[in-house]
Structure 1
Amino acid sequence: MNRRMALLGLAALAGCGFELRKEPEFLFHTVGLAGFRDDSQLAVELRRQIGRTKLTLQPDFNRAEVVVESLKDQRDKIVVVSTSVGQVREWQLKLDVDYLLRTAQGELLLPRTELRLTRELTYTETQALGKEQEEAQLYRAMQSDAVALIMRRLAAVKLPS
């Protein structure tokens, strides 16, 4: 009976068009990164993701078919809740990324795009070390989300003829 239910469930999934996400197919071969700070963790993650695809990362972005140009890559930490004596109880972590996609010749493929990611972080002084690690983990997760969005937009780019 359980086996029949499992087969029925698989047949329903196959019939509805469900499909696992595949690696994106790019309509170009080289990509360059411009405008990123030397210490940008976002650029490091973006390079890592590009390395996992069939794309070639062009060190000289002026020779790349598509250029990801960073206009803003900023992290912020804002107090959301504090006690009457000024102790922080909750932070809001923000990652702001602005970028555009263009050709090496300067032709705009995707206008300025703003990504605003936020996460809430509760805080107590007794767990300070653990909360620092949690904060770093939340920033990494936001960064991974931002890179995934940029990679999806790269996959949608069509070069002008």
Structure 2
Amino acid sequence: MHAQVQIKRFPQWLLMVAAAVLLSACGFHLRGAADLPFKTIYLGFPPNSPVGVELKRNIQASGATVVDDAKEAEANLKVLADSRDRQVLTLNTNGRVREYALFQNFSFSVTDAKGAIIIPPTAITLRRVITYDENQELAKQAEETLLYRNMQSDLVQQILRRLSASKTAIKNEKAAADSDS
């Protein structure tokens, strides 16, 4: 009897092992720290900016240092625009709001210590849709705050990916400068 149960479970075990092998072979891995092409950076955010605080924390976690003086930094991130917006998306039959579209617009540029452009002016626009119910006002305000916080984290990750991608641009510029001299 016990042997029959083991025989019936063998295909299940085989399927689980095959799934584990396939998942490990697909290239999936957790996102690690960003591989930034500089050791120091100046962030042009106001001191109390939530995006600036989160970006600073992520940059420091990647091993780079955020400095307070732009002259001491290898890279200088300049904030060109940072705004949030909420627009009515749909109305119900009574003319009351059913959905809002939440927007986070951010644009920036990055230069090196000499003023050469590493990342030209770049705009990032994030959008989330939220349903609205006037009977659940407090819950919907909390949901909106949570969505803006989620958009902020997404924005920081996109900025970090663009900073990491600039590594190849910096290498290409250095190679071109070395070949000219």
TM-score, normalization by structure 1 = 0.88
Match of 1:76 in 2: 85
| CA shift digits 1:42-84 (9 cap, x unpaired) | 1122112123221111111221111221101000111222356
Match of 2:151 in 1: 142
Match of 2:50 in 1: 41
Q: Report the Cα distance in structure 2 between the residues aligned to 1:119 and 1:26, rounded to whole angstroms.
A: 29
Amino acid at match of 1:29: K
| CA shift digits 1:68-101 (9 cap, x unpaired) | 2110100011122235665322211100000111
Match of 1:89 in 2: 98
Instruction: Tell me if 1:124 matches 2:129.
Output: no
Structure 1 residues 90 and 12: CA distance shift in structure 2, 3 A: closer
The structure number with the bigger radius of gyration is 2
Cα pair 1:66 1:101 within 8 Å, conserved: yes
Match of 2:42 in 1: 32
Matched length: 160
Percentage identity across aligned positions? 36
Deviates more, 1:37-46 or 1:71-80: 37-46
Instruction: Tell me if 1:20 matches 2:49.
Output: no
Match of 2:124 in 1: 115
Match of 1:63 in 2: 72
Match of 2:177 in 1: none
Partner residue of 1:98 out of 88, 102, 107: 107
Partner residue of 2:63 out of 54, 68, 72: 54
Match of 2:7 in 1: none
Q: Report the Cα distance in structure 2 between the residues aligned to 1:75 and 1:98, rounded to whole angstroms.
A: 12
The structure with the greater share of residues assigned to helix is 2
User: Could you list the runs of 5+ residues in structure 2 that have no partner in the other structure?
Assistant: 1-9, 175-181
TM-score, normalization by structure 2 = 0.79
Instruction: Tell me if 1:151 matches 2:160.
Output: yes
Cα pair 1:73 1:96 within 8 Å, conserved: yes
Instruction: Tell me if 1:7 matches 2:39.
Output: no
User: Could you list the runs of 5+ residues in structure 1 that have no partner in the other structure?
Assistant: none
| CA shift digits 1:29-53 (9 cap, x unpaired) | 111101x234422112211212322
